[in-house]
Amino acid sequence: MIRILKEAETDRATIFAREDPVDSVAEPVRAILADVKANGDAALKKYTQQFDGVELSTVEVGPGALEEGLRAADPTLVDILYRAAERIAAFHQHQVRSSFLVNDEGGILMGQKVLPLERVGLYVPGGTAAYPSSVLMNAIPAKLAGVKEICMVTPPGKDGKIAPNILAAARVCGVDRVFRVGGAQAVAALAYGTESVPKVDKIVGPGNQFVAEAKKQVFGQVGIDMVAGPSEILVIADGACNPQIVAADLLSQAEHDRNASAVLVTDSEALALAVQGAIEEQLPKLKRQEIARASIDRNGKIIVAQSLDAAVDIANEIAPEHLEVCVDQPFDYLDRIRNAGSIFLGRNCPEALGDYFAGPNHTLPTSGTARFSSPLSVDDFVKKMQYTYYTKPALEKAQFSVSTFAKKEGLTGHARSVDIRFDPKVAEGTK
């Protein structure tokens, strides 16, 4: 049963505690990465047999697989995928950046070039659940950024195939190549390249603890979006909220993972008790009730705050992945919210809306990292290069400042690289 904690009577360590840390998988992941780096496709096939029970003849799906997936998928879902893709693209279009040039003053030009990454790898989870929504949320910003090639990796099913819904989503948003391999070995393939899987510039997308650890270990060899932890939701709710609705919103994240976190912060003890009961009533109705039960019992909590303002302070301290503000005037609190991955405002905006259809990205910072990081965006798929141009008269105006600054830092070579251009003996004849 979910715990109820009263802010005034509970120590801060208990209020702000997150899930127990999982056992480290660093060493087995390191071994897998080294094996794939050394042995390529042979290692991928070995681990797919070992972990997925599938013997692969080829790693990449055939050229017509995406079209076949589109035809085999539920037509209703396909229609929703197209409509969701339109909404996701419309939102992310506002994030597209342009290069710029600044004509600062006479003889000085400065600028920034915004360039798409050449090739990115998209990891799509499999196993306990397959998420076509993750395909859309990761591939569409990449396409808008202008990425030239998107390579998707995802674990195969027991039949050795990829679920039609995943392939359909890949077709809808323009994924270029698809590989039926998952886990740390798939991350290794994207980072180092194999005979079948090309090396990418950046790896994005969620996964289990092995995937997260693999991304962490290959960072520097390639870019990554983030090291994601278990899913989180925090709901701020006043006493006028319907407890059945609040309970349903909490359970929507608890069913993701046994390590997921569902937290309610309210100023109403009556609502706290009612939500506690509603969760127990709804849990048996969930298809993934065993997972949700473990999440609720291990990491779920209801915090009775002394006021709604205090509830916002608690939310800022926790910095949740998803934050629902279930009050009549949610915009009254928006400016006070400093730390959250994605915010859902009002009584009619469940977090699931953001997972699938609203438009903002659902790949979000977890484990409190919303204090300093952001949702996945078009920015994650571009790089920026800056450039500077000075004429000689412009440099001469800056000579004293640059040379003096360098000398004060003890870097006389820096100073000399400027001063030498104005030494008549050296620079004679220089235009």
Active site residues: 321-322
Pairwise CA distance, residues 431 & 422, whole Å: 11
Is the separation of the CB atoms in 205 and 123 below 8 Å?
yes
Residue 97 falls in which region: left (phi positive, over 0), alpha (psi -120 to 50) or beta:
beta
Residue 103's CB is within 10 A of a number of other CB atoms, namely 10
Pairwise CA distance, residues 363 & 224, whole Å: 12
Q: Which residue has the tokens 């920026």?
A: 384
Pairwise CA distance, residues 230 & 263, whole Å: 13
Pairwise CA distance, residues 181 & 152, whole Å: 9
Pairwise CA distance, residues 250 & 265, whole Å: 11
Residue 186 carries which side chain, given as an amino acid letter?
A
Q: 348 is written with which tokens?
A: 């009619």
Residue 375 falls in which region: left (phi positive, over 0), alpha (psi -120 to 50) or beta:
beta
Q: Which residue has the tokens 């209020």?
A: 15
